[in-house]
Structure formats: C-alpha cells, structure tokens
Amino acid sequence: MHLLFAALLALTQPWLIVSDLHVEPFDRSPQVSDYGSDTNWALLDSTIAAMRKTEPNPAVVVIPGDFLAHHFGSTVHAANAHVSTAAAAEQVMSSIESRFARAFPRAQFIIALGNNDDPCGDYSTAPDTAYLSRVAKIWQPLVNRGNAAPDFAREFSHGGYYTAQLRRGRVRIVVLNSVYWSILYHRCNGAGSGVGAAQLKWLQAQIQQRGGPAIVVMHIPPGVDGSSTLLTHRFLVVPFLQGGADAAFERIVSASRQSVPLAIAGHLHLNDFRLAGGMPMLIASSVSPVYHNNPSFIRALVEGDGTLKDYRLYGYDIDRGAWSQILDFDRAYGTPAFDAPALSSLHGRLGDDRNLREIWTTASSAGSSDSRIDRGNWRAFWCAQTDEGSAYTGCAGDRRRAAVLPLGLALAGIVAILIVIGIVLRLASQRRRA
C-alpha cells in the first residue's frame, strides 16, 4: 500500500501555465509595460524569470494562446511598412520560443493559438497556410520533446489543433483552435469553410474513440462573455462561441465527462474557473496588463490521471515592481481538488459568502486594485462559471432586460415597416398626380 501511494505521488507533476502574452515587439524599453499596455520584452523576460524562480523544472509549460499584441498588423505597418505582418509574427513567435526554450530546457510545452495570433487579423485564420507551417516548425522542438507529439507539425500546420501525450503517465492533451468557433470568427481571404465543424468531429473522435483521460487546452472558452454582456448593459447575453459550436462542444465533453478531468483556457485576462458540460475548466489570467490587471502566471500540480490537484497564482505589482503569490487555490477556498464537485460547491459558496467573493475578485485580476469584477457587477461573471442561455439570464438577474430587447427590436421593425409603407404610398400618389 505504501509503495502504491508513493507511486501515485511520483506521478504528481508541477506545471506552469501562462496565457495572453500579447507581446508588443517594438517596445524595447528596459521598464516593464504599464497598466493599459500590452507586454513588452522587459515584462516578458521578468515573467519568465519569475516562473523559473517559482518552478525551475516544470514537467509541462502550457501557453493557451494570444502570443501577439492587440492590433498587431497596424503596429507592424506603423513601425516598418516594408515588413509583412506574417514575417513580423513569425519573428515574434521565434523570439518567444527561444526565451522559453532557454528557461525550461527539459519541459514539455503545450501551446494553443489565440484570436490575435494570425497575421490575417483578429479572429481571422485559415487552415493549411504557410504561416501555420512556419509556426509549427518554430514550436515543434518544444512541443515534441521526448517524442510527445510526433504528429504535431502535420496536425498543427493543417488547422492549428493537435494532440500530444504526456511523457509521464497515460494522459493525452487535446489542443483546440477555438477561434474557428468564435462568434467573431471570419474566414481569412475566404478560406476555411467548414473547418469549425471538422474540428468538432475530430474532437469527438479524440475523446470518445481513443479512450483514456484527456486534458483539453483551448484559448477561447465556451459559455457567456461576462465583460461583453456588461458592455451591452445586460440587454444582450453575449456568448464566446457560436451557438451550434458551443452546444456541440459541451455535448461532446459531457458525454465523456469521466474521460476529461481538466480543461485549460485563457482569453478572459482574468483568473477564474468554469464548469463546461460538467468539465472543470481553469481560466488562466494574462501576462498583458492591457485591462489593468496585474501580469500573472500559475504553478499547478497535476495528478497522473490528469486531475488538477491544486494551483497557485503569482502576480506582478507594476507599481511596486515585485512578483508575489496572490492565491493558493486550496487554502483560499478550502477545496479538496479542482474537480466538478468541488467547483460546484465553491460556486455556491461564492454566491453566499461576501468575504470569499473578495478573495475571488482580488485573485481575478491577480491582485490589481482595478479589478473588472466588483461588488456591483460580480453576478455577471459569477453566473458565467456555471450557466448559459436562459439559466444565465435568470442567475444574473437580467431576465427583464433580456425580454425587453426582443420587444424593442420587434417594435423598431414595425416602425420601419410603417415608414417604408408610408414612403411607397407617397411615391405612388406622386406618380398618379404626374
């Protein structure tokens, strides 16, 4: 029994998770980026150094997307009109890869593409491009360490999604390109029709037909976009993904709930969690302080079966110029593990306990005093942890507002029709007089 327990402990791996780098390549200031800006090289180097100090020998490093700065194309053209966006993006990708390779020479890397990571533009990408092939070539030495992902170059070059095998244990990693499913997705130069549906079929095959536990990594998560919903003053409940893709994704993971112990996503620039189809999902906050959050990363402990045992969040206070631990998930929330039952219980306690919510809101922005989640809007984000559609509307208290919008649109449509009828009748009358 003792030998078995020791063997299980040996399978517990330290991981580092860092998301939404958003590197601004032309900012070479020795001072780290300030709040409201994307990541310069000084901040990226500071982040990697803090990650290495926290965990010098991680088994896995996960980067779930958005390597490139916001408005990357216009930034490149403003700096050098003779350099193509694709060439600049490849150079930034290569520079990021080399920094991580030097810092963690033995770690297995898992990367996902974000909505800012294609030179075609924000939320725009296409399969089978030269750019995807070049990015695959850049990252292959790190992703395929120990022959963990022998098909990475071929799979990634096709659509930006692929599978890998953990070098220790029997857990597989299924990496998605969820940009194809975004409500804002648009095809690059008209290419890419049907790739979102093809990826869903591929996901189902990977999870249901291959068997064994699989960790899912993606950039854009399923569910409600709390920030965008608040921007509409809650008259609209804004999802991250297209309705069909969101429903299909959750149906696939729900049908294989026991096979998917964990999912990891980014995109929100907030540290949070979600239950998607009963699957526990960790939302990694960002390095970029563009939304006035503190830059951050996560050190996680992952069990041999793919379960997230615990994690710690580290943030950089730009005003003080120092990294520190912001959150110990287990100690702060009193949870036995990062699994569906524990997260469901934690979600309920967050709704009832104001002090616990203060911990959650502080951690969401990695300790920044300018958190997007506050006492006035917290339900918009809290409800998104577990609810979608009408359930979210009822949870967030937006039922009346959500009902008002269709009525208002209907009335506006009636008014528009009456105006058109009036114009047509007036023109007909003028013609008769003529």
Distances (CA, A) of 6 to 1, 16, 35, 336, 404: 9, 23, 45, 19, 59
CB atoms within 10 A of CB 406: 10
pLDDT-based confidence at residue 207 (cuts at 50, 70, 90): confident
Looking at the predicted structure, is the pLDDT value of residue 417 above 80?
Answer: no
Contact between 313 and 367 under an 8 Å Cβ cutoff? The reply is no
H or E element, residue 197:
helix 195-204
Single out the residue of 156, 223, 199, 172 nearest to residue 382, CA to CA: 223
pLDDT above 90 for 414: no
Residue 217 three-state SS: strand
pLDDT tier for residue 229 given thresholds of 50, 70 and 90: very high
108-129 burial: b if 16+ Cβ within 10 Å, else e: bbbbbbbbbbbbbbbbbbbbeb
Residue boundaries of the structural domains of the chain: 11-397
Instruction: Dump pLDDT digits (tens) for 65-97.
Output: 999 999 988 888 888 767 889 999 999 999 999
The average confidence (pLDDT) of the chain is 88
What is the pLDDT at residue 170?
Answer: 84
CA-CA-CA-CA dihedral for 196, 200, 202, 204, to nearest 10: 180
pLDDT digits (tens, 9 = 90+) for 251-273: 998 888 778 999 999 999 999 99
pLDDT at 201 over 80: yes
- Say yes or no to pLDDT of 243 above 70: yes
pTM for this prediction: 0.89
Cα separation of 197 and 211, whole Å? 22
Contacts with 383 (C-beta within 8 Å, 6 or more apart), sequence order: 224, 226, 392, 395, 396
Gyration radius from the chain CA atoms? 23
Instruction: For residue range 312-353, list pLDDT tens digits in order.
Output: 999 999 999 999 999 999 999 999 899 999 999 999 999 999
pLDDT single digits (tens) 126-153: 899 999 999 999 999 999 999 999 999 9
Q: Is CATH 3.40.50.720 the classification given to domain 11-397?
A: no
Label residues 352-369 b or e (16+ Cβ within 10 Å = b): eeeebbeebbbbbbbbbe
pLDDT at 190: 79
The structure tokens listed for 188 are 């690059």
